[in-house]
Structure 1
Amino acid sequence: MAKIKTVINNLLGKIETTSERYEQTLEKKQEELIETQQKLQDAQFKLKDFHKMKVLGDITEEAYEAEAVTVKALTEKIETLHKEIGLIDTYKTEDVDAVLAEIKKAQAENVGEASNEVSQIKYKMQQAKLEYLQKIAEAREEYWKAVSTENRLNNILVKLGKKNQNYLSGAYEAIGFAGYGNGYSTTNLMVQQNEVFDALNYGRLPSPTISAVEKGKKAGYIK
């Protein structure tokens, strides 16, 4: 998969480079067109003056014709620039389509690889979910081990009639929530749908959980 991705990324880079070259060329041609149009306007005014001067006999026919040649050359240049500007988009489309055809061919030769990679990620997420729940199950065992003496004492007191019942909290009530921040706010072990959405689509992690972990580290409960 890495090889085909490299090939396609190189081709995509070629498209970007090609598009950028055409865009830069288009910008230069448009600037040149504006500049030439201004030169033509100036030359046309000058040619009009030369025509008056020729009629009055102030300049020769040759001088007038020389200026007329300049006007004609500028007019032809403008026509050429218009054609080139019109062709730039056509040439750009042809070149880009050629590269896209290469990409399509490369994808066809490696059909299913991208889908397989996405499937790998998908099932890795399920594996991570299972490992998370396994950690919770392990935490349950750790909790009951931590309170085993207190639990045993409470049970004995109940049997002796010293207590009505064992009020020791279950694992979910005892360790299913953690405080964060400076107040009495808590966050639980539930991974909410919006938290999964934010993590997958935006890479955002829930701030209460981050804050709770920081608080636990600061207190020395976790590393």
Structure 2
Amino acid sequence: MKLLNKLEGLFTKVDITEASYQKALEQKEEQLLELQLQLKDKETSFRDLHKMEMLGQVSKETYEAEKEKFEQLKAKVAEAQREVQLIEEYKTEDVHSILTELEADAGKYSAEKHKEIDAIKDDLLQAKLAYIERMVEARDKYNKIVSPARKLDALKIKLGIKQNSYVSDALSSLSLYSVPNGGYENLLIDKGVVYDALSYGEVPSQLERLVKAGK
């Protein structure tokens, strides 16, 4: 289980790494959006200023000063765009680094994995045997309980007083559990219930309710 714990730790590391980069990306994208909005506003005012400079309405020094600010803002936008790109690149690098370690350990874990799965199957095999043994035990108890009624019917049939015995066998009598508010709960495990348990981790709600009510 040491390798399994290590693999789970590496998967957690992937989640943490991705979450950290995602947070950084969202913050940087928010900064980029704000800078882009500022640049858009600045572009309009700078274009107007350029016209005024060409018409001699403002001095060249004023225009050059504003041009420098405009270029600085453009550089900030370009830098922020590059940082967004780098965050994606760095995230991919880090995740790939963890993936390499995961693949190496996953190969080692293969034999341990099969061993653990076989252990689960052994548990299910024992549970199945226990279930069948309980069924056999229930059959024996049931047959002992109804034995006097069967013997009485057999005697009446022998004397010609009765033609048939209607005492149910164990399968007919013990297959269904009568639900207090109507309906039945199947006491035999059918494939659908097993499918839901193994595929979705579901336990029949009525079964749970009946067992809890009986405690």
Name the TM tier (shorter chain).
0.7 to 0.9
**Partner residue of 2:192?**
194
> How far does residue 214 in structure 1 lie from its aligned partner after superposition?
6.1
State the alpha-carbon separation in 2 of the partners of residues 136 and 7 from structure 1.
Answer: 42
Q: Which residue of 2 aligns with 1:100?
A: 99
Find the aligned partners of 1:201 and 1:174 in 2 and give their Cα distance. 31
* Pairwise CA distance, 1:55: 4.8
Give the residue type in structure 2 aligned to 1:194.
G
Does the C-alpha gap of structure 1 residues 59 and 208 become closer, same or farther in structure 2, counting only changes over 3 Å? closer
SS in 2 for 1:111: helix
Task: Report the Cα offset of residue 132 of structure 1.
Answer: 0.8
1:94-146 deviation line (CA, Å, top 9, x unaligned): 11010011111222233321222222222322221221111000001101122
Percent sequence identity is: 36
Shift in CA distance, 203/51, structure 1 to aligned 2, threshold 3 Å: closer
Deviation at 1:15, TM superposition (A): 1.0
Paired AA for residue 17 in structure 2: T
**Shift in alpha-carbon separation, 1:109–1:54, aligned structure 2, 3 A:** same
8 A Cα contact 2:4 2:109, kept in partner: no
Q: CA deviation at 1:57?
A: 5.3
How many residue pairs were aligned? 215
Comparing 55-64 and 79-88, the one that deviates more: 55-64
Q: 1:220 matched to which residue of 2?
A: none
Q: Which residue of 1 aligns with 2:202?
A: 204
In 2, Cα distance between equivalents of 1:20 and 1:133: 49
The alpha carbon displacement at 1:93 in A equals 1.1
SS of residue paired to 2:110:
coil
TM-score, normalised to structure 1, is 0.82
The 8 Å contact of residues 177 and 186 in structure 2, kept in 1 or not, is answered as: yes
| Unmatched runs of 5 consecutive residues or more in structure 1 | 218-222
Q: Who is 2:85 aligned against?
A: 86
Q: What is the CA distance between 1:31 and its match in structure 2? A: 1.9
1:37 aligns with: 36
Cα offset for 1:208?
4.9
SS of 1:147's equivalent? helix
Q: Partners of 1:212 and 1:64 in 2: how far apart?
A: 85
Aligned-partner residue type, residue 186 of structure 2: N
Structure 1 position 56, deviation (Å): 5.7
Runs of at least 5 residues in structure 2 that lack an aligned partner in the other structure: none
1:15 touches 1:96 (CA, 8 Å); kept in 2?
Answer: yes
For the residues of structure 2 that align with 1:80 and 1:156, how far apart are their CA atoms? 101
- Structure 2 residue 167 is the aligned partner of structure 1 residue 168: yes
Cα deviation digits, residues 42-62 of structure 1 (max 9, x gap):
333333344455456554433
Letter in 2 for 1:120: A
- CA shift, 1:212, in A, is 5.3
| Distance 1:57-1:117 versus aligned 2 partners, 3 A rule | same
Deviation at 1:197, TM superposition (A): 1.0
Gap change, CA 1:169 and 1:92, over 3 Å in 2: same
Match of 1:151 in 2: 150
Residues 205 and 76 of structure 1: CA distance in aligned 2, closer, same or farther (over 3 Å): same
TM-score normalised to structure 2 length: 0.85
Match of 1:123 in 2: 122
Change (3 A) 1:41 1:168: closer
